[in-house]
Amino acid sequence: MKKTKKTVKKTSKVRKPAPKSKVQRPKSKVSPDVRLTGVPMVVEKTDPAMVIQWPRTIVHHHTYGLLSPFFEGLKRGVLRGVRCPNPACEEKGIWLPPRADCPDCHTRTKWVDLKNPVIGEIFTFTHVEYPGNGIEISYPYYQIDVKIPGCCTVMKGYLVRGEAKIGMKVRACFRTKQPTNTILDLSWEPAE
Ligand SMILES: [Zn+2]
Protein backbone atom coordinates (compact mmCIF):
# COMPACT_ATOMS: atom_id res chain seq x y z
CA MET A 1 0.00 0.00 0.00
CA LYS A 2 2.63 2.42 1.06
CA LYS A 3 4.54 1.83 -2.14
CA THR A 4 1.50 2.53 -4.33
CA LYS A 5 0.73 5.81 -2.56
CA LYS A 6 4.26 7.02 -3.18
CA THR A 7 3.92 6.27 -6.93
CA VAL A 8 0.68 8.25 -7.19
CA LYS A 9 2.29 11.23 -5.51
CA LYS A 10 5.18 11.18 -7.98
CA THR A 11 2.81 11.05 -10.97
CA SER A 12 0.78 13.99 -9.78
CA LYS A 13 3.99 16.02 -9.42
CA VAL A 14 4.96 15.34 -13.07
CA ARG A 15 1.50 16.44 -14.29
CA LYS A 16 1.80 19.91 -12.82
CA PRO A 17 0.33 22.50 -15.24
CA ALA A 18 2.88 23.90 -17.72
CA PRO A 19 4.10 27.47 -16.99
CA LYS A 20 1.99 30.15 -18.63
CA SER A 21 3.11 31.05 -22.14
CA LYS A 22 4.66 34.52 -22.47
CA VAL A 23 3.03 34.95 -25.87
CA GLN A 24 0.14 37.36 -25.60
CA ARG A 25 -2.92 36.07 -27.33
CA PRO A 26 -5.19 38.81 -28.73
CA LYS A 27 -8.46 39.05 -26.96
CA SER A 28 -11.35 38.26 -29.23
CA LYS A 29 -13.27 41.35 -30.31
CA VAL A 30 -16.69 41.65 -31.78
CA SER A 31 -16.34 43.56 -35.06
CA PRO A 32 -18.92 46.05 -36.19
CA ASP A 33 -21.01 45.03 -39.19
CA VAL A 34 -18.92 44.57 -42.36
CA ARG A 35 -19.72 47.29 -44.87
CA LEU A 36 -19.30 47.40 -48.65
CA THR A 37 -16.54 49.79 -49.64
CA GLY A 38 -16.52 49.05 -53.40
CA VAL A 39 -18.61 50.66 -56.10
CA PRO A 40 -21.15 48.95 -58.32
CA MET A 41 -19.76 47.64 -61.61
CA VAL A 42 -21.31 48.66 -64.90
CA VAL A 43 -23.08 45.76 -66.60
CA GLU A 44 -21.97 45.69 -70.23
CA LYS A 45 -24.23 42.88 -71.37
CA THR A 46 -26.24 40.05 -69.97
CA ASP A 47 -26.56 37.75 -72.98
CA PRO A 48 -25.26 35.09 -73.52
CA ALA A 49 -23.51 35.76 -70.18
CA MET A 50 -23.20 38.68 -67.80
CA VAL A 51 -20.23 40.90 -68.55
CA ILE A 52 -19.25 43.71 -66.19
CA GLN A 53 -16.70 46.50 -66.53
CA TRP A 54 -14.06 45.98 -63.87
CA PRO A 55 -11.64 48.94 -64.06
CA ARG A 56 -8.07 48.18 -63.07
CA THR A 57 -5.22 50.61 -62.58
CA ILE A 58 -1.66 50.46 -61.25
CA VAL A 59 0.71 53.04 -59.81
CA HIS A 60 4.22 52.57 -61.11
CA HIS A 61 6.84 53.87 -58.65
CA HIS A 62 9.56 55.05 -61.00
CA THR A 63 12.84 56.45 -59.72
CA TYR A 64 15.04 58.86 -61.65
CA GLY A 65 17.90 57.74 -59.44
CA LEU A 66 21.17 59.55 -60.09
CA LEU A 67 19.51 61.46 -62.94
CA SER A 68 17.14 63.26 -60.54
CA PRO A 69 19.05 66.61 -60.84
CA PHE A 70 18.15 66.69 -64.55
CA PHE A 71 14.40 66.66 -63.78
CA GLU A 72 14.82 69.07 -60.83
CA GLY A 73 16.59 71.38 -63.31
CA LEU A 74 13.77 71.29 -65.86
CA LYS A 75 11.32 72.45 -63.18
CA ARG A 76 13.57 75.44 -62.49
CA GLY A 77 14.13 76.25 -66.16
CA VAL A 78 17.67 74.87 -66.35
CA LEU A 79 18.90 72.30 -68.84
CA ARG A 80 21.49 70.10 -67.16
CA GLY A 81 23.91 67.75 -68.82
CA VAL A 82 26.89 65.82 -67.57
CA ARG A 83 30.56 65.76 -68.39
CA CYS A 84 33.16 63.05 -67.78
CA PRO A 85 35.72 64.28 -65.21
CA ASN A 86 38.31 61.66 -66.20
CA PRO A 87 41.22 63.61 -67.84
CA ALA A 88 42.23 60.46 -69.71
CA CYS A 89 38.76 60.10 -71.27
CA GLU A 90 38.56 60.98 -74.95
CA GLU A 91 35.02 62.36 -74.69
CA LYS A 92 35.13 66.00 -73.58
CA GLY A 93 31.59 66.98 -74.67
CA ILE A 94 28.42 67.23 -72.62
CA TRP A 95 26.12 64.23 -72.52
CA LEU A 96 22.47 65.17 -72.94
CA PRO A 97 20.26 63.47 -71.90
CA PRO A 98 22.57 62.90 -68.94
CA ARG A 99 24.23 59.62 -68.03
CA ALA A 100 25.16 58.78 -64.43
CA ASP A 101 28.37 57.17 -65.64
CA CYS A 102 30.45 57.99 -68.68
CA PRO A 103 29.47 55.56 -71.46
CA ASP A 104 33.07 55.60 -72.72
CA CYS A 105 35.13 55.06 -69.53
CA HIS A 106 32.46 54.36 -66.84
CA THR A 107 33.65 57.20 -64.55
CA ARG A 108 30.87 58.83 -62.49
CA THR A 109 29.95 62.00 -64.42
CA LYS A 110 29.70 65.62 -63.15
CA TRP A 111 26.72 67.95 -63.65
CA VAL A 112 26.93 70.96 -65.97
CA ASP A 113 24.20 73.64 -66.23
CA LEU A 114 23.72 74.94 -69.78
CA LYS A 115 23.49 78.70 -70.00
CA ASN A 116 20.07 80.13 -70.93
CA PRO A 117 18.86 80.65 -73.55
CA VAL A 118 19.82 77.20 -74.81
CA ILE A 119 19.82 77.40 -78.59
CA GLY A 120 20.12 74.24 -80.64
CA GLU A 121 19.65 73.24 -84.24
CA ILE A 122 17.26 70.68 -85.70
CA PHE A 123 19.38 67.76 -86.86
CA THR A 124 16.41 65.77 -88.12
CA PHE A 125 12.70 65.46 -87.39
CA THR A 126 9.57 63.32 -87.70
CA HIS A 127 6.03 64.59 -88.16
CA VAL A 128 4.04 62.46 -85.71
CA GLU A 129 0.44 62.04 -86.81
CA TYR A 130 -0.45 58.83 -84.98
CA PRO A 131 1.48 58.54 -81.71
CA GLY A 132 1.40 55.48 -79.50
CA ASN A 133 -1.03 54.87 -76.68
CA GLY A 134 -0.62 57.10 -73.64
CA ILE A 135 0.86 60.15 -75.38
CA GLU A 136 0.35 63.20 -73.18
CA ILE A 137 0.76 65.99 -75.72
CA SER A 138 -1.60 66.93 -78.51
CA TYR A 139 -0.89 65.70 -82.01
CA PRO A 140 0.09 65.96 -84.80
CA TYR A 141 3.41 67.39 -83.63
CA TYR A 142 7.03 67.48 -84.72
CA GLN A 143 9.41 65.23 -82.85
CA ILE A 144 12.81 66.81 -83.32
CA ASP A 145 16.40 65.77 -82.78
CA VAL A 146 18.34 68.78 -81.52
CA LYS A 147 22.07 69.36 -81.88
CA ILE A 148 23.25 71.58 -79.02
CA PRO A 149 26.65 73.30 -79.16
CA GLY A 150 29.10 71.67 -76.75
CA CYS A 151 27.15 68.43 -76.56
CA CYS A 152 28.43 65.14 -77.89
CA THR A 153 24.90 63.81 -78.28
CA VAL A 154 21.79 64.74 -80.25
CA MET A 155 18.82 65.12 -77.97
CA LYS A 156 15.24 64.18 -78.77
CA GLY A 157 12.37 66.52 -78.01
CA TYR A 158 9.31 68.12 -79.53
CA LEU A 159 8.59 71.39 -81.26
CA VAL A 160 5.90 73.29 -79.44
CA ARG A 161 4.95 75.47 -82.42
CA GLY A 162 5.92 76.17 -86.00
CA GLU A 163 7.14 73.94 -88.76
CA ALA A 164 10.31 71.91 -88.36
CA LYS A 165 13.10 72.24 -90.90
CA ILE A 166 16.54 70.65 -90.85
CA GLY A 167 19.09 73.21 -89.67
CA MET A 168 16.45 75.43 -88.04
CA LYS A 169 17.50 77.11 -84.78
CA VAL A 170 15.35 76.22 -81.77
CA ARG A 171 15.25 77.49 -78.19
CA ALA A 172 14.68 75.30 -75.11
CA CYS A 173 11.41 76.00 -73.24
CA PHE A 174 10.63 74.77 -69.76
CA ARG A 175 7.32 74.03 -68.08
CA THR A 176 8.14 75.68 -64.77
CA LYS A 177 4.49 76.35 -63.92
CA GLN A 178 2.66 73.14 -63.06
CA PRO A 179 5.51 70.90 -64.21
CA THR A 180 4.71 67.30 -65.12
CA ASN A 181 7.99 66.10 -63.51
CA THR A 182 8.71 64.21 -66.72
CA ILE A 183 10.72 64.87 -69.87
CA LEU A 184 7.62 66.67 -71.23
CA ASP A 185 8.72 69.65 -69.13
CA LEU A 186 11.28 70.34 -71.86
CA SER A 187 10.16 71.47 -75.31
CA TRP A 188 11.57 73.60 -78.12
CA GLU A 189 10.30 76.63 -80.02
CA PRO A 190 11.63 78.27 -83.20
CA ALA A 191 14.43 80.73 -82.44
CA GLU A 192 14.60 82.40 -85.84
ZN1 LIG B 1 34.76 59.17 -69.70
Write the pLDDT tens digit of every residue in 27-59.
778 888 888 888 899 999 999 999 999 888 899
Q: Separation of 66 CA from ligand 1 center, angstroms? A: 17
d(CA 89, CA 143): 32
Peptide bond into 32 cis (omega under 30): no
Does residue 160 register a pLDDT over 70?
A: yes
124 within domain boundaries: yes
With bands split at pLDDT 50, 70 and 90, how would you rate the model's confidence at 4?
A: very low
56 within domain boundaries: no
The CA–CA distances, whole Å, from 165 to 39, 150, 188, 190 equal 52, 21, 13, 10
With bands split at pLDDT 50, 70 and 90, how would you rate the model's confidence at 2?
A: very low
Q: Separation of 106 CA from ligand 1 center, angstroms? A: 6
pLDDT digits (tens, 9 = 90+) for 81-124: 999 999 999 999 999 999 999 999 999 999 999 999 999 999 99
> What domain range is 114 assigned to?
65-190
10 within domain boundaries: no
149 within domain boundaries: yes
Q: Separation of 86 CA from ligand 1 center, angstroms? A: 6
127 within domain boundaries: yes
d(CA 179, CA 175): 5
Q: Separation of 148 CA from ligand 1 center, angstroms? A: 19
Q: Separation of 108 CA from ligand 1 center, angstroms? A: 8
Total of domains in the chain = 1
138 and 159 Cβ atoms separated by less than 8 Å: no
